[in-house]
Amino acid sequence: MKDIEGFHILWTAPYFEKSKDDTYSMQDYELLTMILSALMWRKMNGPITLYGDARAIDYVEGQGLSHIWNGGIKEIQVPDSISPGVFWAAGKLYALKAAHMPAVMVDLDLIVWKNIGEYIAGTDICAIHREGIYPDVYPGRDFFNMDSSYSFDPLWSWDVPPVNTCMLYMAKEQFKNYYVDSSIQFMENCRETEENLCHMVFAEQRLLAMCAARKGKIIASFFPEAADIERQDVFTHLWGYKNILKFNYGKRVEFNGRLCERIEREFPEEADVIRELHVCR
């Protein structure tokens, strides 16, 4: 079985945009999910790398977790010109810029339980699924607050469905660079000052579809239909469940217990590591 390179991204600037804390921290359920995500990727697919800013790297090193990413830890720097309030996921674009394709970008709250080789074989781009063009999330071009010098490529189609990028495979370095450069140029020329969702998802999810169509690339989906996601056993994604865990202590203890048990059972060498984190009750 051929290794599939994966990578995580931990960019702390959005955290400090909203928090007055001097040091970065994660919720216990976020930390355990990230750990199991990395360990399961290693087990089922191949090496995994962490791309993070300096404070993210300090955090994982301080928690004794650096070894979790057997592909290593690499620092990214997102320019101050990119607002972490508006573009809270910009770290993903800068990690993609630094990463070499073919590789799979995996969100920290996504656990992949199986090998995905059969899904990505022969594809240029493969993502979890496409999304509908809902006007409140994906509005038309006139909505965007852009610098007067910026112009959208007239050959970009506004009719292609956006791409959910919680897990994203790209095969070719050249296309990856085109997409990332287009996204960064959009973010650098954005005059928006407050988060409204639409600017970030355009830069990350809609532009990917537009760039692919512009270059004649076909985007495959791990699960083309929404109903398929409900019936699959390939991955677990926390998505909105994080809000339940944040406010429901009982559910949180139950969830953490399941993850601790899974880590200790499948990766007994990490048992002492997670006990030191004091997140398992």
For residue 78, being part of any structural domain is answered with yes
pLDDT-derived band at 228 (thresholds 50, 70, 90) equals low
Take residue 194 and report the two structure tokens written for it.
Answer: 């407050």
For residue 66, being part of any structural domain is answered with yes
For residue 182, being part of any structural domain is answered with yes
- Ordered strands of the 73-75 beta sheet: 73-75, 48-52, 6-10, 103-106, 163-170, 125-130, 219-221
Q: Is the pLDDT of residue 114 over 60?
A: yes
Write down the pLDDT at residue 243: 84
DSSP state string for 48-74: EEEEE-HHHHHHHHHTT-GGG-TT-EE
Give the tens place of pLDDT for each residue, 130-189: 999 999 999 999 999 999 999 999 999 999 999 999 999 999 999 999 999 999 999 999
Write down the pLDDT at residue 162: 96
Q: Rg (Cα) of the chain, in Å, rounded? A: 19
For residue 1, being part of any structural domain is answered with no
Residue 241 vs residue 5, higher pLDDT: 5
Domain that includes residue 146, residue range: 6-276
For residue 104, being part of any structural domain is answered with yes
**Contacts for 268-275 with beta carbons within 8 Å, 24 or more apart?**
270/35, 270/39, 270/68, 273/64, 273/65, 274/32, 274/35
Task: Supply the CATH number for residue 218's domain.
Answer: 3.90.550
Give the tens place of pLDDT for each residue, 251-270: 999 999 999 999 999 999 99
Instruction: List alpha helices for the chain, DSSP H.
Output: 13-18, 28-44, 54-62, 90-98, 117-120, 173-188, 198-201, 207-214, 226-231, 241-247, 249-266, 271-276
Give the tens place of pLDDT for each residue, 194-212: 888 999 999 999 999 999 9
Residue with tokens 């990463």: 99
* Domains held by the chain: number: 1
For residue 281, being part of any structural domain is answered with no
Contact 171, 125 (CB under 8 A): yes
